[in-house]
Structure 1
Amino acid sequence: MNKLLKVLGMLGVAWGVLSTAPAMAQQACSLEPTAGTVTRTIGSRSYTLNVPAGLVGGSVPLLIALHGGGSNPSFHENETGWTPYAASHNFIVAYPKALNAWWDLTDNSVDTPFLKQVAADISSQWCVDPKRIHVAGFSRGGMMSHRVACDDDGTFASVAPYAGYLPTAEFASCSPQRKVPVAIFHSTFDPIVPYFRATAARDFWKTNNGCTGSVTTTVNGSAFERYTGCAGGTEVWLRQYFQSHNWPFGSDADDIRNRMWAFFQAHPLP
C-alpha cells in the first residue's frame, strides 16, 4: 500500500508539473518579431508596435514614440524613420495613439497612465529591459514627453522632445519625483513653437537636475549644448536645427535619430 501511495504521489507531482507547464511557458517573454507593424489594444485605446526580426540579447530597449497633435501613429512612424532604425539598432518601437489625436498635457493626465500601460503590455509578452524604456515625441508629442518626465515615477528612463515645449504655465505644474535625463531638440525657425520655448525648458530641467557644468559645440553651424554635473548622473541636452515645424529631413534626420538614441543609451534607469 505504501508503495502504491508513493507511486500515486509521484504521478501527482508529475501531473502537476505537466499541467502548469503551459502557464509557465506563457509567462516567459520572447523576442519573436511582429508581422511588420501591428495594432494592439488596451481597453478602448490602441497603439501600433514593431518588434524587428533578429533582436539579440536577453532583453532589449523599448522606445515609445509620440505623434504630433492632429496626427496619428502611422504618419509618425513614416516621418521619423524609427522603425527601420530600431531594426538596425536592436530595440522595439511603439507608437501610441492619442485620444482624438491630441495628448492630454494637464495635471493628472489620462495619457501618462496609458503610456505606462503600453510599456507594461509590451513587456508582458516581449523581453523588454525595464531600465531602458524611453519616450520621444514631436510637437504635441514632444510636449507629452515633457509631461511624462514631470509625472515620472521611475517607469521611463529618459525622454527626448522635439519641437514641443514644457507644458507648465498653460496646462499644468511640473514636480518630478526624481532627476530625469531630458534631451531637447528644436528648430530655430519653428513658427509654431518659438525657439525661446526650448531654452526655457532647458533652463527648467537644468535647475531641476542641479546641473553645474556645460559644454557647447557647433555641428554644421548649429549649436549642441550638453549640461553635465547633474544629480543622479543625469544630463540635459539642447540640440538646435535650422528647420521649420517639421520632423527634420536630410542629414538632420540622421542626426536627430542618432543623437536621441545615443542619449537614451547613455541614460538607463539607475
Structure 2
Amino acid sequence: MKTALLFISFLCASLLIYGQQTINGSITHQSIQRTYILYVPASYSVGTPAPLVLNFHGYTSNANDQMFYGDFRPIADTAGFLLVHPMGTLDGSGNTYWNSNWGGTADDIGFTEALIDSLALSYNIDMGRVYSTGMSNGGFMSYTLACELSNRIAAIASVTGTMNFNQSAACNPLHPMPVMEIHGTADGTVPYNGTGSMESVANVMSYWVNFNQCNTGAIVTNVPDINTSDGCTAEHYLYQNGNNGVEVEHYKIINGGHTWPGAPIVIGTTNYDINASEKIWQFFAKYDINGKITSVNQLNNNGIEVTLYPNPTSSFINIKYKGLADFKNTIFRLYDLTGREVLLKKINSLPTQLEVSKYPKGTYIYRLKNSNTEFMGKIIVH
C-alpha cells in the first residue's frame, strides 16, 4: 500500500502543477518541528472567511500521500475552503502515526490546535467552520479531536477509522458533534465489527447518535451501483434530528476493503459508487460549530453585510445587502459540489429574489461579486 501511494504521489506531482497554491510549512510545538502541506485554492479571497479542513494521513503514511489519495483539492477549488495535511511523528517502531489515545507520547491534540492558530495568523479562516477528516489512523485522530478539541472542531468524518475503547470511555465533547463514518465491511486492518481494542462501527455510530440525541432509527438508502466492476456496493445510513440540528451519517461499503472510496488508485477493494471526498465535504458544508447552518449572513472587512434567506430553501433565495450603495454589475454564480456552474445571474438592484426550485436537492456554493466586494457561502435546496 505504501509503495503504491508513493508511486501515485510521484505520478500526480509530475502531471499537476499547483504553483503557489501548495505550501510546505512547519511550526514548532513542544520544541519539535512539525510539518504540514497547505493547499490554498485559487478561489480563496482574503476578504472572505474561509472554512478549514484538516486531512490526516493513516498509519505509516504521510501528508503528501494523503493529499493525493484522499484528494479534496478539486472540491476546495470550487467551495473555497483551505485544506491542510498535517504530518505525524514516528512511533517506537519508526512508523508515522497519530497519537489518538494509543499510549504514544506525541501531543498531537496540542499540535493540531497550534496549527489552526498558526494558519489563522496568515489566512482569513472562519474559526467556526474548522473540520477534521482522515484515513485509518487519521480517522481515529479525527474522533480524538471530536472528543478532546471540540471547542475548535465543527464536524468530523472518518474513512476506515473508528474509536478505541479508551476514546469512547473518556469522550466529552462540548457541543453536539456531526459525525460521518465511511467504512468497508471487509476491512482487514480496522475491522468493521471491531477487535479487542477497537470499537465496532455499529458501536461508534450508536455512541454519537446517543450523544447528539438523534433519532435512533436510521433512514437507510441503497446507493446506486453505478460501478458494477468494483466488487462492492454501498448503503447510506442517516440519523436525523439531533441537538442543534446535527446528524450522524454512515456509508457502509459492502465487501469494501481498507480503502478510500473514489480514490485515484486501487490498492484493495475500492468503492466507486461514491466519492468519499465529495460526500465528506457535502456533510461538512451543512454545519458550523453551533450546529446546522440555517441562514447565510456574512460581513466582510469593509463593513458590508450580505444576507441570503431562507436557507435551506425549496423555492426562492432572497438576497439583500447592507452598507453598499452601488449594486451595479453584481454577478451571482451558483455551483454544485462537483464544481459545475448551474446559475449565472447579473444583478443590478437589491434586494432581489432568485428561483432555485428547479435544481436537484442538495448543497450548492454561491459566489456574489462586484467591483467593491466578494462573498462566498452555501445554499441548501431541500
Q: Normalising by the residue count of structure 2, what TM-score does the alignment of the two structures yield?
A: 0.58
Counterpart of 2:75 in structure 1: which amino acid? Y
Which stretches in structure 1 are left out of the alignment for 5+ residues? 1-32
Q: Distance in 1 between matches of 2:184 and 2:241?
A: 26
Task: Tell me the CA shift for residue 254 of structure 1.
Answer: 5.3
Residue from 95, 99, 103 that aligns with 1:104: 99
Between Structure 1 and Structure 2, which shows a larger proportion of helix residues?
A: 1
Task: Tell me the CA shift for residue 63 of structure 1.
Answer: 0.5
Q: Distance in 2 between matches of 1:190 and 1:262?
A: 24
Q: Distance in 1 between matches of 2:82 and 2:117?
A: 13
TM-align CA RMSD: 2.3
Who is 1:200 aligned against?
203
Counterpart of 1:88 in structure 2: which amino acid? T
* Contact 2:89–2:106 (8 Å) recurs in 1: no
Residue from 258, 261, 264 that aligns with 1:248: 261
Who is 1:52 aligned against?
41
Residue from 175, 181, 185 that aligns with 1:184: 181
Q: Distance in 1 between matches of 2:126 and 2:274?
A: 25
Does the C-alpha gap of structure 1 residues 155 and 73 become closer, same or farther in structure 2, counting only changes over 3 Å? same
In the alignment of these two chains, the number of paired residues is 238
> With CA pairs under 8 Å and 6+ residues apart, which has the higher RCO, 1 or 2?
1
Task: Tell me the CA shift for residue 255 of structure 1.
Answer: 2.4
* Contact 1:60–1:92 (8 Å) recurs in 2: yes
Counterpart of 1:68 in structure 2: which amino acid? G
* Contact 1:105–1:171 (8 Å) recurs in 2: no
Counterpart of 2:62 in structure 1: which amino acid? N
Q: Distance in 1 between matches of 2:27 and 2:54?
A: 15
Does the C-alpha gap of structure 1 residues 145 and 153 become closer, same or farther in structure 2, counting only changes over 3 Å? closer
Which stretches in structure 2 are left out of the alignment for 5+ residues? 1-17, 91-95, 194-199, 225-232, 264-270, 291-382
Q: Distance in 2 between matches of 1:169 and 1:89?
A: 36
> Which one has a bigger Cα radius of gyration?
1
The one-character-per-residue Cα deviations of 1:54-95 (angstroms, maximum 9, x if unpaired) are 324611111100000010000010111222321132111000
Residue from 203, 210, 215 that aligns with 1:212: 215
Task: Tell me the CA shift for residue 169 of structure 1.
Answer: 4.1
Residue from 155, 161, 164 that aligns with 2:161: 164
Counterpart of 1:102 in structure 2: which amino acid? Y
Who is 1:24 aligned against?
none
* Contact 1:168–1:174 (8 Å) recurs in 2: no
Task: Tell me the CA shift for residue 172 of structure 1.
Answer: 6.4
Residue 90 (1) aligns with residue 90 (2): no
* Contact 1:146–1:167 (8 Å) recurs in 2: no
Q: Distance in 2 between matches of 1:249 and 1:130?
A: 29
Residue 133 (1) aligns with residue 136 (2): no
The one-character-per-residue Cα deviations of 1:33-56 (angstroms, maximum 9, x if unpaired) are 971322111111111101111324
Counterpart of 2:37 in structure 1: which amino acid? T
- Identity rate of aligned residues, in percent? 26
Q: Secondary structure at the match of 1:46?
A: strand
* Contact 1:158–1:268 (8 Å) recurs in 2: yes
Counterpart of 1:249 in structure 2: which amino acid? G
* Contact 2:43–2:78 (8 Å) recurs in 1: no
Q: Normalising by the residue count of structure 1, what TM-score does the alignment of the two structures yield?
A: 0.81
Q: Distance in 2 between matches of 1:84 and 1:170?
A: 33
